[in-house]
Amino acid sequence: MYTPPFTISANAINLIAEISAQIERYSIQMERGDSLRLRKANRVKTVHSSLAIEGNTLSEGDVTAILEGKPVIAPQRQILEVKNAIKTYELYNSLDPFSLEDLLKAHRTMMCGLIDEAGTFRKKGVGVFDGTNIIHIAPPAERVKDLMEDLFAWLGSSPDHLLVRSCVFHYEFEFIHPFTDGNGRTGRLWQSLILGKLNPIFEHLPIETMVYTHQQGYYQAINQSSSKGDCQPFIDFMLQEILDTLVEHQGLSIEEIGRNNNLNASEIQALGHIKADNRITAVKLAEKIGLKPRQAERILSELKNKGIIKRIGAKRNGFWELLGGPNFEK
């Protein structure tokens, strides 16, 4: 059986551990908050960001208006792209991420009225361009069907962690470039679907927003993987994006934690830096808040004793998990 070429770095192993720790916290946040409102807001972010990466200029407000059936003055093609993406994401729970037929169905919905070949593999060669420079020549059209069948066979039978499989599939999909257009948005949707089998929260987690913010890094990771003949750089990049998205949307307010646990100004300031960089060291924290390293170590120790942060892993390669303290409602 075909196996895509990839290696799992030590960084990827650490990221998988961090992501696993954050998934439960995000699930709790969805239960605590107005989940319907959060899901709608995140769906808007997902659709907007995934299309913006492809050059769609409509704003999040425009996407919200279209979702609500309100008129929007914009190029008809861009409006249709949004409408199609909304319809496609509405199919989320009915699509099987391990089914090639469902992938074609999703692409047909995503690209309906935009290209003639919606839902069918390309019949000619394609290249990926950065401006006028070609950065990737996809495999010949006659190989696409076999390559996609091999990729889905691997996806469904591989024992690797779903987090890893989702990243490898995403990269291999973009490398094969099976369609004449719509590869990027379909590939990002499919990674989300695969992750949904790990935990349902991924249906509403706007990873595309982070990718949109770090577009240059996204394409750089693809190019590095292609040059290396191993998609390890892309795996590391996407795992970091997933972790950052989980942390960004876990909804913990530093001010609220400080108020509920009677923290002093230095402790609140330290928490803010820990949330921004969960690998921060006592030395780096001391530099950030203008204290001596020993004072920063005392603050970290106090926050740990109060149940507000927890150290995961070794001192050198570990990270801080933000718990919220005993007064944080779960």
The string of pLDDT tens digits covering residues 143-159 is 999 999 999 999 999 99
- The answer on 213 and 144 residing in a single domain is yes
Q: Is residue 2 part of a domain?
A: no
What is the per-residue pLDDT across 30-69, written as a single tens digit (0 to 9) for each? 665 545 666 777 788 889 989 998 899 999 889 999 999 9
Q: Is residue 1 part of a domain?
A: no
Q: Is residue 329 part of a domain?
A: no
How far apart (Å, rounded) are the C-alpha atoms in residues 206 and 48?
10
Q: Can you give the CATH number for the domain in which 199 is found?
A: 1.10.3290.10
Total number of domains constituting the chain = 2
- The answer on 146 and 25 residing in a single domain is yes
- Which of 11-20, 96-105, 279-288 bottoms out in mean pLDDT, i.e. has the lowest? 279-288
- The answer on 289 and 227 residing in a single domain is no
Report the pLDDT averaged over residues 243-248.
Answer: 81
What is the per-residue pLDDT across 174-233, written as a single tens digit (0 to 9) for each? 999 999 999 999 999 999 999 999 998 888 787 887 788 788 898 899 989 999 999 999
Q: Which of 244, 235, 232, 216 is nearest to 167 (CA)?
A: 235
Q: Is residue 3 part of a domain?
A: no
- The answer on 150 and 282 residing in a single domain is no
Q: Is residue 327 part of a domain?
A: no
Q: Is residue 5 part of a domain?
A: no
Using DSSP, state whether 136 is helix, strand or coil.
strand
End-to-end, the C-alpha distance of the chain in Å comes to 45
Q: Is residue 272 part of a domain?
A: yes
- The answer on 267 and 152 residing in a single domain is no
Q: Can you give the CATH number for the domain in which 274 is found?
A: 1.10.10.10
What is the per-residue pLDDT across 16-25, written as a single tens digit (0 to 9) for each? 999 998 888 7
- The answer on 48 and 182 residing in a single domain is yes
Instruction: State the residue range of the domain holding 96.
Output: 10-248
- The answer on 234 and 305 residing in a single domain is no
Average pLDDT, the chain: 87
pLDDT of amino acid 42: 79
